[in-house]
Chains A and B, each alone.
Chain A
């Protein structure tokens, strides 16, 4: 299944990923103390400690394209977004991003319980690297959107979970990025806010020059993406038109389900077992 933009070389490339690999070293990932690292070394547990969350991943997203990334749990979808957002540096290969990236991985991030909602917006803006003038200019809009009333000036440790989610969403979507990264963010807050947030995301989707969306919601992919990519165990399995790729994904999921049923007793599928790798308890 060939990438749909192969013929259109004249278009501007927004994201160019070539031979990307991301390796996790589990030896380092466990909550570490010197004692653990010494005892592990003595037990020779080092052999299985490295794994590739992504391997040999190459693709391009041109301006105007909206790429839906699907795949089973632990396929490396979220890791891919983290790399595109610049949070994780590749262990192999190169990622080039042309334009300002905003990731909606950031819902609720940057919150400091002792600061007011308003100050948290400023703090989050500074973390995101937004210019001060821009944050101040958009502050009223964000306050409006979060719809917190007088609570906007209260320390956010007094907020409910829903209120925090609203504030987080308001901050995360206030930036109009060239390249928008979305990671399953639609499931926050109450029904009314979900509607409102879906509308806001659609707005951003229309304005953004390129979008990468990670989701389990196949309807989103077929409705709003013009290209899809299926990841399994860190590798690209299929790229192409959303309908085709979704079909492949559903076929594979059905196969996995059948295997599980055939295997019988409480089977933990290998992909899922590995998926818990990046953040083991």
Chain B
């Protein structure tokens, strides 16, 4: 019995289990899900690290791309909007960078997260582990990317836009935390649904691009509101779109140098927390069938 006791200590999973056809109640499932994420922190960390290593391993410049990539994307929009459309905002490069940086994280988290469960097919059939760690790891891998993106942002501000540097910059992590709360439930739910319908992956790429352009991303919000006068649906969307709040808030603290929309961020956090609970519930409900379906 001594042996069994040491094993229980040495392992992060329970030493015995009971598995039956009776599914736990919703509240239990949600609690289980959060518990798994907490107890498997190290696995999530390893997965994130593996993800980052993979991202840097196949290219000549490796992880330097994390710094260059947002800059290049910014340049594309600068050329597009200020040269072709010829009506840029003041200091447009910084203006658009405020949108490029967080969106890259959101975009990669969702894209990778949706594929994450399906991508671990072999493992899911061979080992019992909480599948919830997979989409969550994708989201966290994106955070690292995001923080690397702050390097070119800092360079940009110091070199070209020193007048935009204000105390409000310290709030970037707060807004990023709200973004994290929003990204988690979306990634978790779509990652689970993609197991059953692989269309989710294809569709999401286009929906994400559309989402970016109907948000105040590369243009100011008044331009959108202008268009909304003609298409009322767009007006509703602008109001309900979490990225209206997020883009505006990032822009407030980085570009405008003023307080973000606290009310909006607060409301978004609350809604996202609710969504997270629902997302975990849906994921945990579908999880038992993953090994059979894949």
Contact = CB atoms under 8 A, between A and B. Distances in A.
Given A88-B292, A89-B288, A96-B18, A114 B57 contact: yes
B20 interface: yes
B4 A99 contact: yes
A256 interface: no
Contact of B197 (A37, A89, A92): A37
B80 interface: no
A126 interface: yes
Contacts of A86: 17, 19, 128
B40 interface: yes
B290 to A, nearest CB: 9
Contacts of B291: 82, 87-88
Given A31-B198, A34-B197, A127 B123 contact: yes
Interface residues of B, number: 42
Interface majority SS on B: helix, strand, loop or mixed?
A: helix
B44 to A, nearest CB: 9
Contact of B128 (A37, A85, A178): A85
A224 to B, nearest CB: 21
Contact of A95 (B12, B15, B20, B43): B20
Interface stretch (B46-54, B96-104, B164-172): B46-54
A114 B53 contact: yes
Given A33-B199, A92-B21, A110-B123, A28 B11 contact: no
Interface stretch (A129-137, A215-223, A233-241): A129-137
B16 A94 contact: no
Interface string A234-273: 0000000000000000000000000000000000000000
Given A89-B288, A115-B53, A130 B10 contact: yes
Contact of A100 (B15, B19, B40, B288): B15
B283 to A, nearest CB: 14
B127 A112 contact: no
Nearest to B289: A28
B13 interface: yes
Contacts of B3: 176, 178
Interface residues of A, number: 56
Contact of A130 (B11, B122, B197): B11
A122 B43 CA distance: 9
A112 B43 contact: no
Interface in B81-103: none
Please name the 8 residue pairs, one residue from A and one from B, whose CB atoms are nearest each other, closest first: A129-B13, A86-B128, A126-B43, A89-B288, A94-B20, A109-B126, A134-B10, A114-B54
10 contacts: A31-B198, A35-B199, A83-B19, A85-B127, A97-B16, A99-B7, A101-B17, A115-B50, A128-B127, A130-B10
